[in-house]
Amino acid sequence: SAKLRAIREAGFSQVMLSARDLVGHADGWRAAVAEVQASGLRVTGFQVLRDFEGLSGHLHDYKVDIAKSMLEMCAALDCRVLLVCSSTSTHASDDLDTVARDLRKLAMLALPLDIKVAFEGLSWGRTINEFTTAWDVVCRADVPNLGLGFDSFHMVASKTSLDDLDMLDPQKIFLVQ
């Protein structure tokens, strides 16, 4: 509540939240959601689902369960964007079709909740570390609510040419930080 009050008093009308902001609340995540709603701040995005794509077996099942929980919290916040960053896990496949399949599955879980999934290539991502590769995977997944998330830090750190921005569909850019 102190963070929300400080944000509001600083003149902001929106906030980006992380799952730990909610699950760390002393009275549980639903109480945290109630405080956010009472604050009057609009939640512009919910972050961050990490190391989701490319896993198999029990690791895949575990991450799907986490994703479902995050989507539930995102929906409770009336937030329409879930940020997902590219995997850094050594257990994840580097096959882009496998990555696309997993992101498609996540997007399909988010679709009935009217949530967009913004996929971001981390500059230190194991397989996907540039927005150009993230875009390739988004195109392979081919679902309407899966798009890109951009963080200027990762764009600069990866040294990807900004000329490559021309290849993107602006309607598929869901979040810019």
Residue range 4-14, pLDDT digits in tens: 999 999 999 99
CA distance linking residue 83 with residue 165, whole number of Å: 20
Give pLDDT, residue 74: 98
Strands 146-150 and 14-18: unpaired
Angle at Cα 71 formed by Cα 69 and Cα 76, nearest 5°? 95
- Whether residue 89 is predicted with pLDDT greater than 80 in this model: the reply is yes
pTM score: 0.94
Confidence tier at 72 by pLDDT (50, 70, 90): very high
Work out the average pLDDT over 25-31.
96
Q: How many other CB atoms are found less than 10 A from the CB of residue 21? A: 20
- Whether residue 157 is predicted with pLDDT greater than 80 in this model: the reply is no
3-state secondary structure of 96: helix
**Long-range CB contact pairs, 31-37, < 8 A, 24+:** 33/73, 33/76, 33/77, 35/1, 35/4, 36/4, 36/77, 37/77, 37/78
Given a contact cutoff of 8 angstroms between Cβ atoms, the answer to whether 100 and 84 are in contact is: no
CA distance linking residue 11 with residue 33, whole number of Å: 20
Condensed to tens digits (0 to 9), the pLDDT of residues 123-151 reads 889 999 999 999 999 999 999 999 999 88
Q: How far apart are the first and last CA of the chain?
A: 24
Give pLDDT, residue 135: 96
Q: How many other CB atoms are found less than 10 A from the CB of residue 156? A: 11
